[in-house]
Amino acid sequence: MGSPVVCDSLGVRSIFVFPDVEQAAVVALLDERSPGRRHPWFVDGCLYVWLITEDLYLDWEPQTVRSLTRACGRRPEWMLEVEVSGRVDGTAEVRHLTLALLAQGGIAMDDYSDHLWTAEEVADDRAVDGLHFFGFRTHREQTALPQ
């Protein structure tokens, strides 16, 4: 599948996924998509996926943790961090993996908005406050300094 190479470096971009399934099911899904490679899993030729079980919220804003806890109905005890190299776009791959991970429910977050994304919102490519899930290009345009 692989994203096309992007000429300008976008920097590493991240999402966090909190699937509403057993951790073992997520590990099995990732093992299937990244045969023979773990910690991190390497998915779709451009996504690095880590299972985080310790110090989950160490550097997080308290309001973000409260919002996540409300949205999930509990404070998640583990999460997945997915990183995309700045050398590729990665949008299609991030959306595809996120939808697979949230197939049974859960929440995803990206670096670009404070919104907690459901699978339905990701699948529908819904915009919230002018941003779509993993909307790094729009975010970059909105936050660019005037020349």
pLDDT at 57: 92
pLDDT at 1: 44
- 5: part of which helix (H) or strand (E)? none
pLDDT at 136: 65
- 11: part of which helix (H) or strand (E)? none
Q: Tell me, what CATH number does 57's domain have?
A: 3.30.70
pLDDT at 7: 37
pLDDT at 9: 56
Residue 4 lies in a domain: no
Per-residue 3-state assignment (H helix, E strand, C coil) for 29-84: HHHHHCCCCCCCEEECCCEEEEEECCCCCCCCCHHHHHHHHHHHCCCCCCEEEEEE
Residue 143 lies in a domain: no
Residue 59 lies in a domain: yes
pLDDT in tens, the chain (147 residues): 444 444 345 678 899 999 999 999 999 999 999 998 999 999 999 999 999 999 999 999 999 999 999 999 999 999 999 999 878 888 899 999 999 999 999 999 998 888 999 999 999 999 888 888 887 665 566 666 555
Do 134 and 15 meet the contact criterion of CB atoms below 8 Å apart?
A: yes
Per DSSP, the residues of 106-136 read EEEEESS-SPPBPHHHHHTT--BTTB-TT-H
Number of compact structural domains in the chain = 1
Residue 5 lies in a domain: no
Residue with tokens 């093992």: 31
Residue 60 lies in a domain: yes
Q: Which residues pair with 80 in a beta bridge?
A: 17, 51
Residue 27 lies in a domain: yes
Alpha carbon of 33 to those of 45, 48, 99, 101: distances in Å? 10, 11, 14, 12
Residue 82 lies in a domain: yes
For residue 142 the two structure tokens come to: 């909105």
Q: Which domain holds residue 65?
A: 13-131
Nearest to 83 by CA among 135, 28, 12: 12
Residue 51 lies in a domain: yes
pLDDT at 129: 84
> Who contacts 127 (Cβ-Cβ below 8 Å, separation ≥6)?
135
pLDDT at 103: 96
pLDDT at 77: 96
